[in-house]
């Protein structure tokens, strides 16, 4: 994915976007081709505001007062459209991890990305934040944007994807429609052998109590 986003140069192979062969020598070329990426470790400037991070690298005079106001309105419009509540003036390092991820997504959308790559996006999120992320991704998918989700979590794969490509030891082992597979088959493709996704174990049998205490009271040095 770093090759697709222009971080690394490919040794061989071709990239086609919308049926056209595309050269991606660097990240600026990737952005110009409509590719955005949300890294597992965010690429944000901690002591910059949300708005400053959004327009960083895409300024083109945006730091001038009239353009800055326009950029702010564009950001707020995107945030409203995708139900991502963000404060443009908030300092990034003061935001939760979930909110920082939203800033990364908004940064890609601000640059009009039609292909969005996310690397292990739920690894740092709470369950509720992950659910919110999935709602956003489904909305983007329904609008016709391409979402490339890198994950090893089978539940996420089955819930949100349409097509699954499995890599093992650096090689592509299969590409299947999500509706035509199941977690067991995907696990087998991932590790190269059959995998049991359940654990069969007998009920625990408590042993003899080694210590039994009742009505114990303790007072600390402060008398509490």
Give the pLDDT confidence of 165-201 residue by residue, as tens digits.
999 888 889 999 999 999 888 988 888 887 766 666 6
Confidence of residue 61 (pLDDT cuts 50, 70, 90): very low
Give the pLDDT confidence of 157-174 residue by residue, as tens digits.
998 999 999 998 888 899
Give the pLDDT confidence of 1-49 residue by residue, as tens digits.
888 898 888 888 899 998 999 999 998 899 999 999 998 889 999 999 9
Q: Where are the domains of the chain?
A: 16-151, 153-196
pTM, rounded to two decimals: 0.76
Q: What is the 3-state secondary structure (H, E, C) of the chain?
A: CCCCCCCCCCCCCCCEECCEECCCCCHHHHHHCCEEEECCCCCCCCCCEHHHHHHCCCCCCCCCHHHHHHHHHHHHHHHHHCCCCCCCCCEHHHCCHHHHHHHHHHHHHHCCCCEEEEECCCCCCCHHHHHHHHHHHHHHHHCCCEEEEECCCHHHHHHHCCEEEEEECCEEEEEEEHHHCCHHHHHHHHHCCCCCCCCCCCCCCCCCCCCCCCCCCCCCCCCC
Confidence of residue 66 (pLDDT cuts 50, 70, 90): low
Two tokens, residue 180 = 């035509």
**In the prediction, which pLDDT does 193 show?**
82
pLDDT above 70 coverage of the chain, percent: 92
Q: Which CATH class is domain 16-151?
A: alpha beta
Q: Is 53 exposed, middle or buried (0-12, 13-18, 19+ CB in 10 A)?
A: buried
């Amino acid at each position: 994915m770093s090759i697709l986003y222009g971080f690394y140069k490919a040794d061989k192979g071709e990239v086609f976007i919308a049926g056209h062969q595309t050269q991606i020598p660097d990240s600026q070329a990737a952005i110009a081709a409509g590719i955005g990426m949300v890294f597992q470790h965010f690429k944000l400037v901690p002591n910059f505001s949300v708005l400053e991070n959004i327009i960083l690298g895409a300024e083109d005079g945006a730091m001038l007062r009239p353009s800055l106001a326009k950029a702010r309105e564009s950001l707020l419009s995107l945030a409203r459209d995708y139900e991502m509540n963000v404060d443009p003036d908030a300092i990034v390092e003061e935001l939760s991890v979930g909110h920082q991820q939203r800033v990364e997504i908004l940064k890609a959308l601000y640059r009009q990305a039609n292909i969005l790559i996310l690397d292990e996006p739920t690894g740092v999120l709470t369950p509720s934040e992950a659910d919110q992320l999935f709602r956003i991704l489904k909305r983007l998918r329904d609008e016709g944007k391409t979402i490339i989700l890198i994950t090893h979590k089978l539940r996420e794969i089955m819930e949100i994807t349409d097509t699954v490509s499995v890599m093992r030891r650096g090689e592509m082992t299969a590409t299947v429609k999500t509706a035509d597979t199941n977690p067991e088959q995907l696990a087998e493709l991932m590790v190269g052998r059959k995998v049991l996704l359940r654990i069969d174990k007998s009920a625990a049998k408590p042993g003899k109590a080694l210590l039994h205490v009742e009505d114990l009271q303790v007072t600390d040095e402060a008398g509490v």
